[in-house]
Chains A and B, each alone.
Chain A
Amino acid sequence: MSAKKPIKYAMYLAAVAVFFALILLPPIIGIFTKLSAIQEVLDQPALMQRALNAVVNSFAIALLVSALDVAAGVPLAWLITRGKSKWLNVLDTFADIPFIVPTAALGYSLLLFWNGPGGLSALFGGSLISTGWLLVALLHFTFSYPIVVRVFVGALLDYKREYEQASRTLGAAPLIAARTVTFPILKPALIAAFILSFARSLSETGATFIVAGLFENGPVFLQNMKNAYSSGLVSQATYEGATVFASLILIVTSLSIFALIRILGSRLRLPFNRVWPTMERKFSYSKATAARNTVTLLVFLVIVLLPSLFVALPAFQALFTDTFSAAISSSGVWVNYWQSLFISYLLGAIVTLIGFVVGLPMAILIARKKFGGAISTILDLLINVPLIVPSIALGVSLKFFWQNFAFIPEFILLIFAHLAITYPYIVRSISAAFERISIDIEDAARTLGAKPFAVFRTIMLPLTKYSILSGAIMVFTRSVSETGATLAVVTNLQTAPVVIVNWVRALQNPALNTNITPSVVGLGCGILIVFSFLILLLLRLVTKGKGRY
């Protein structure tokens, strides 16, 4: 026993070391090695102002969108968990779609729906919503919405309904009971949903780039600078300076905001502590409830679901044109597409695998407090850092960091970047699964004579495999969908969402004179979405299958 202990601790220490050396520090430190480049921007007030505006736009949109998402997503989560119709299961599945569809395809779909000639805009004789901040906000609302729903559905399922029932028997109408008892008790879930939606909005790059037009937020600004540099419009010094400047502000501000939410969040009392019994009763029963559910469903269907899937229309039409045969025979632009799709899925698979290997010991370390409670809490906070930092800034910083060492192939850099972005997801899903299982079960196995590794293999792994598997699928999806970090670290390699982004940009800029047509982009998105659906199906099978504990 005592001889084996060092081995065990060496494993946990190695996991912590890998976390710091590979996941946490490169994306943070990298940017500081290039601090001197900022001088270039300080000498160009106009550029600096543009960068600052872009960053402010990022936070403003994230704030607005997350607040709206919580307001719109919570009623749907409520309907899904509390409603009686069997259709709610279907609704629950559909709510995941915008999460699972790679954002680049989602962005194009929204562009077609709100802005394109064949979409909703046709009814209005022109573009209903032109590219710019409103379309960006709509896009961010759409892809963050499932996160809020998912988090809050989970929270409501775990919630002990007796609190709410007690409130009802004490005389509270349903609305008052929800407002004064359920929501305050579920406040941590509300905050978590807000943070996740906020972080996702800050990070998203590819789709935002597609719908932004002349509008710039942080990631779009960084991407514009990169494009300007590669087409020779700005000098390397200006490009690096602007990139470092904007990334640094994005990283520092996002980390500060999240620190602030963490500190203030637990002290914050929800507003409206007062109750208005007579008035609130009116909003509690059948008519008001039906009205609320109708609005909730309408928002979900018209603003979230329909625009997300709108690209299916041109994709379907493309099936009956030359485009389809070109795609199948992999001619012209499609060579590139299939290659990028292969790279995306290969990358996703490698990242998921490595993430699992380096993340598992960390998850156990955190869940079982192997190094004591304080260290677990700190590590638990730190693993969230890559989730919070906007991914394009993370990619920029990561690239600068590894530049200092040696030449590293782009694909390896991509693995590092995606590993950093997905690491929080895998560790959190495994540690949450472990925390749900009482340590008594492990202890029982030990007293029956099982060695620690046997306990893990025969008890913990079977009990947590479904959570681990669904975590793995999430990580895979996230990696396939990621554009920000990818765009930041690569110059030659292209993943599938990057190809989509480039195609849409080519469409929007006829001067480039490429042979990209709307039907090509539509089909490209359609194929990505079909693959995503298969993954969603797999996720459902895994998490709904028998043998869940």
Chain B
Amino acid sequence: MPEVRVVNLTKKFGNIVALDNVNLVIHDKEYFSLLGPSGCGKTTLLRLIAGLIEPDSGEIYIGGRRVDNVPPEDREIGFVFQTFALFPHMTVWENVNYGPRVKNFDLKAAGTIGHEVLELVKLHERLNAYPNELSGGMMQRIAVARALAAGAKTLLLDEPLGQLDAKVRNEIRYEMRRMAKDLNLTAIHVTHDQAEAMSISDRIAVMKKGKIVQVGTPQELYMKPNSLFVAYFIGESNFLEGSVMEVKDRELLIELRGGDKVKVLGEGLKKGERAVVAVRPEVFMTRQKTQSENVLKGVVEKISFEGTFVRYEIKLKSDDSLIVIRPSLTENWFDVGASITLSFEPEKAHVFPYPETSLAEELSV
């Protein structure tokens, strides 16, 4: 069963540590994403799993078998490149049949598989076309079909949608997940697009500078980010700096930079310590009636209409700026210059210790 496991994996390119002692388990039949900004090591990790590059240290297991000394052709994986890498001198059919041919499959059975996978990606009628006659979306589907025809049980996808138009990309990403699920494949999908990763993955590993920061389901990452970076990279967050005034069980009272006091839930912080409160833009309420705690006052500085939502940029008394998102059709809008009173529930915010370097450094990619 193709469970993929990497243990203490490290890879350096010259002096640059591309991957720093990474441990990760991807379950059988899971649709898993490696998410992170460019240069975070996600493609390096994928290429190491595929055997396209060799690790400096560590172990890689696919389906329980240790493979770090196994050449890529014997790892029983399928790799879909960002540029698709369809062989330009072969037709669609020759591309799809390449795997069975070089793997010495029974050619009759291979022919059947070829037709099946082409049906699956709905490109059977283009079997005699050359890659340069196909659109980006078609090439992408052929690249997947080619990997499947070679008998891949683990699909490694390196930014497989990166070269496609926004519209096609949104359609194909669900198709990819459906296909992987229908065929009981383990899929590892590399992307820098958090919306893409969130919408199709069972679980996601968020990476930064060669390390895995957090692994979890899309909901876990969104609702319970374990770090400032994840709170910043997944979705959107406002970061408010302050220091801890009081600690009562899990309840913390934080005095913000401008003097406002807010109550949040969190652990591991001591009295007097510097802290950062992360609040998502949609968490703020604008009704100023009942709430007496966690109130912030400010002035609307900018407003932009985004269809479903209205986005406000609000300047607080402390001169900090906040982003607030409200539904556009079910509420009255605030005008630019209007005073506004915001509030949020303590359990909807996250609090983190102030990073050792600086906030900007911690969030830099």
Q: What residues of chain A have their CB less than 8 Å away from a CB belonging to chain B?
A: 160, 162-163, 165-174, 176-177, 180-181, 184-185, 275, 277-278, 285
Chain B residue with minimal CB distance to A277? B104
Chain A residue with minimal CB distance to B75? A169
CA gap between A98 and B291 in the complex, in Å: 87
| Docked-complex contact B147 and A169, CB < 8 angstroms | yes
| Docked-complex contact B89 and A167, CB < 8 angstroms | no
B98 proximal to A (CB < 8 A): yes
| Docked-complex contact B89 and A184, CB < 8 angstroms | yes
Residues in chain B near residue A172, CB distance under 8 A: 73, 98, 102
Tell which of B78-86, B232-240, B308-316 binds the partner: B78-86
CA gap between A163 and B89 in the complex, in Å: 11
B77 proximal to A (CB < 8 A): yes
| Docked-complex contact A169 and B79, CB < 8 angstroms | yes
| Docked-complex contact B81 and A162, CB < 8 angstroms | yes
CA gap between A176 and B78 in the complex, in Å: 17
| Docked-complex contact A169 and B104, CB < 8 angstroms | no
| Docked-complex contact B73 and A168, CB < 8 angstroms | yes
Q: Which of A170, A177, A285 contacts B147 (CB 8 A)?
A: A170
CA gap between A176 and B146 in the complex, in Å: 17
Residues in chain B near residue A167, CB distance under 8 A: 87, 98, 102
Minimum CB–CB distance from A422 to chain B (whole Å) comes to 34
| Docked-complex contact B52 and A170, CB < 8 angstroms | no
| Docked-complex contact B85 and A165, CB < 8 angstroms | yes
| Docked-complex contact B87 and A163, CB < 8 angstroms | yes
Q: Known interface pairs A160-B83, A185-B89. Does A169 touch B50 (Cβ–Cβ under 8 Å)?
A: yes
| Docked-complex contact A170 and B78, CB < 8 angstroms | yes
Q: Which of A163, A165, A171, A285 contacts B102 (CB 8 A)?
A: A171
B: interface residue count bin = 20 to 34
Minimum CB–CB distance from B163 to chain A (whole Å) comes to 12
| Docked-complex contact A171 and B103, CB < 8 angstroms | yes
| Docked-complex contact B73 and A162, CB < 8 angstroms | no
CA gap between A172 and B71 in the complex, in Å: 10
Residues in chain A near residue B146, CB distance under 8 A: 166, 170
Q: Which of B72, B86, B150 contacts A165 (CB 8 A)?
A: B72
- Give B57-88 interface residues, CB cut-off 8 Å to A: 71-75, 77-79, 81, 83, 85-88
Residues in chain B near residue A163, CB distance under 8 A: 85, 87-88
18 residue pairs A–B, Cβ–Cβ below 8 Å: A163-B88, A165-B81, A166-B86, A168-B51, A169-B50, A169-B52, A169-B73, A169-B150, A170-B73, A170-B102, A170-B147, A171-B74, A171-B150, A172-B102, A180-B102, A181-B87, A185-B88, A185-B89
- Give B89-128 interface residues, CB cut-off 8 Å to A: 89, 98-99, 101-104
Residues in chain B near residue A181, CB distance under 8 A: 87
| Docked-complex contact B104 and A278, CB < 8 angstroms | yes
| Docked-complex contact B85 and A173, CB < 8 angstroms | no
Minimum CB–CB distance from B151 to chain A (whole Å) comes to 8
Chain B residue with minimal CB distance to A276? B104
CA gap between A168 and B103 in the complex, in Å: 10
Minimum CB–CB distance from A161 to chain B (whole Å) comes to 9
CA gap between A177 and B151 in the complex, in Å: 18
Minimum CB–CB distance from A435 to chain B (whole Å) comes to 19
| Docked-complex contact B98 and A160, CB < 8 angstroms | no
Q: Known interface pairs A173-B73, A185-B88. Does A166 touch B79 (Cβ–Cβ under 8 Å)?
A: yes
Chain B residue with minimal CB distance to A164? B85
Chain A residue with minimal CB distance to B71? A168
Chain A residue with minimal CB distance to B74? A171
CA gap between A177 and B101 in the complex, in Å: 12
Binary flags per residue of B257-282, CB closer than 8 Å to A gives 1, else 0: 00000000000000000000000000
Task: State the 9 A-B residue pairs at the shortest beta-carbon distance, nearest first.
Answer: A169-B79, A166-B85, A170-B99, A171-B103, A277-B104, A172-B102, A162-B85, A168-B72, A170-B150
Residues in chain B near residue A171, CB distance under 8 A: 73-74, 99, 102-103, 150-151
| Docked-complex contact A165 and B79, CB < 8 angstroms | yes
CA gap between A173 and B52 in the complex, in Å: 13
Minimum CB–CB distance from A16 to chain B (whole Å) comes to 33
Residues in chain A near residue B101, CB distance under 8 A: 275
